[in-house]
């Protein structure tokens, strides 16, 4: 079986891997998975855009993704397996390849299949039986697939491993220029910095936020209209982000309600740097971490509860260290990029067989 990986947006995994090897940033699990599977990796961009691509993109995705799907449909057959890293590129490939007499096996990692646009696209294009395997990190997403698409269990995979690169995100010393306690945070997806601001505006702390995501735009309601004087938010490069975690006395992940496990990257990166975490409670992995004593959970919108949790950690270093250590040990043991790569590869090869090409024949797209 020949494996392929289709990414939702354009970036170069080989360059990322070289920077990761130099210690400049975390690695990307899809590069390592591609190497193990002997997979060619595809990114949108470079193909000619047709009117039909623009028309389909009005329903789902973007024209570049549909153009890539058209290209792949001319190259792939029944002996190919295509892993699609998101619903957008996955729906495009599944729709275009559905016309083939001998189509490839299609695997999609679902980020938020309950979103109305995604659900309607799947229904409109009648893709229930054109997508062979649905993967998701969220229990609610898996339940949605069962309820609304009547999928059997053998076509759904709840995959809760985490791609946190523990060779990059490591414990380390705080900056010598640190003036007072720091509450660190990061990310834009479903972030509720209004509650975090209310919880910390009267505390003698600096609240430093890495407010950047390559995939997500900030919600208009994410930040308070007036930023407190002790709060700042900006772009951090990877090295600065790692230092932000190391400088943080507490990492706070304040979230709006969601059903697709938002906030986990920040949560696990902080734990890998052995920092204590306060997080908005959410069903699934986050709740499991709170129950295991690896983080302190607070209710959505509960500024008083978040303030009390932060103060309890600032005033009790032993408690903070114990929580940080439990989280660190769990990431080292379970929730890390090494386990993700091994488990992910095993899921595909156990279902579709060993790759027909070895790793040294991998040909990564450099467009």
Tens-digit pLDDT profile for residues 174-218: 999 899 999 999 999 899 999 999 999 999 999 999 987 666 665
Q: How confident is the model at residue 358 (pLDDT cuts 50, 70, 90)?
A: low
Tens-digit pLDDT profile for residues 19-62: 999 999 999 999 999 999 999 999 999 899 999 999 999 999 99
Q: Tokens in use for 42? A: 């595809």
Protein fold of 2-163+337-355: Rossmann fold (3.40.50)
Res 361 pLDDT > 60: no
Q: Is domain 182-333 in CATH 3.40.50.2000, yes or no?
A: yes
- 3-state SS, 65-77, equals HHHHHHHHHCCCC
| Higher per-residue pLDDT: 325 or 357 | 325
Q: Do domains 2-163+337-355 and 182-333 have the same CATH topology?
A: yes
CA angle 135, 140, 141 (to 5 degrees): 35
Give 2's strand partners: 80
Edge-to-edge strand ranges of the sheet holding 40-42: 40-42, 2-6, 80-84, 105-110, 133-136, 156-158
pLDDT for the residue numbered 362:
39
Could you tell me the residue ranges of all domains in the chain? 2-163+337-355, 182-333
Tens-digit pLDDT profile for residues 116-149: 888 888 888 888 899 999 999 988 889 999 988 9
What is d(CA 163, CA 340) in angstroms, rounded to the nearest whole number?
6
| Contact status, residue 364 vs residue 41, Cβ threshold 8 Å | yes
What is d(CA 236, CA 254) in angstroms, rounded to the nearest whole number?
19
């Amino acid at each position: 079986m020949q494996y392929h990986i289709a990414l939702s947006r354009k970036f170069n995994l080989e360059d990322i891997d070289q920077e990761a090897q130099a210690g400049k940033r975390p690695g990307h699990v899809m590069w390592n998975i591609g190497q193990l599977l002997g997979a060619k990796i595809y990114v949108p961009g470079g193909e000619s855009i047709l009117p039909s691509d623009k028309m389909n993109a009005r329903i789902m995705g973007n024209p570049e993704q549909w153009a890539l799907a058209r290209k792949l449909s001319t190259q792939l057959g029944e002996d190919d397996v295509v892993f699609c890293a998101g619903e957008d590129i996955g729906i495009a490939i599944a729709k275009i390849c559905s016309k083939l007499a001998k189509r490839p096996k299609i695997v999609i990692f679902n980020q938020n299949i309950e979103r109305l646009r995604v659900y309607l696209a799947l229904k409109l294009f009648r893709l229930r039986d054109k997508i062979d395997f649905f993967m998701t990190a969220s229990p609610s997403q898996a339940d949605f697939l069962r309820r609304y698409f009547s999928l059997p269990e053998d076509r759904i995979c709840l995959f809760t491993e985490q791609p946190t690169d523990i060779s990059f995100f490591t414990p380390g010393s705080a900056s010598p220029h640190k003036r007072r306690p720091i509450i660190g945070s990061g990310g834009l997806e479903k972030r509720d910095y209004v509650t975090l601001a209310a919880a910390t505006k009267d505390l003698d702390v600096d609240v430093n936020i890495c407010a950047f995501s390559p995939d997500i735009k900030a919600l208009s309601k994410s930040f308070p209209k007036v930023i407190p004087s002790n709060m700042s938010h900006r772009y951090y490069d990877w090295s600065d982000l790692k230092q932000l975690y190391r400088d943080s006395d507490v990492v706070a992940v304040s979230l709006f309600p969601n059903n697709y496990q938002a906030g986990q990257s920040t949560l696990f990166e902080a734990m890998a740097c052995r920092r204590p975490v306060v997080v908005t409670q959410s069903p699934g992995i986050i709740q499991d971490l709170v129950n295991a004593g690896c983080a302190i959970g607070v209710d959505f919108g509960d500024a008083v509860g978040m303030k009390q949790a932060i103060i309890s950690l600032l005033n009790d270093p032993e408690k903070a260290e114990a929580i940080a250590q439990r989280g660190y040990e769990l990431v080292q043991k379970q929730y890390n990029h090494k386990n993700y790569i091994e488990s992910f590869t095993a899921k595909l090869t156990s279902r579709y067989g060993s790759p027909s090409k070895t790793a040294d024949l991998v040909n990564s797209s450099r467009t």
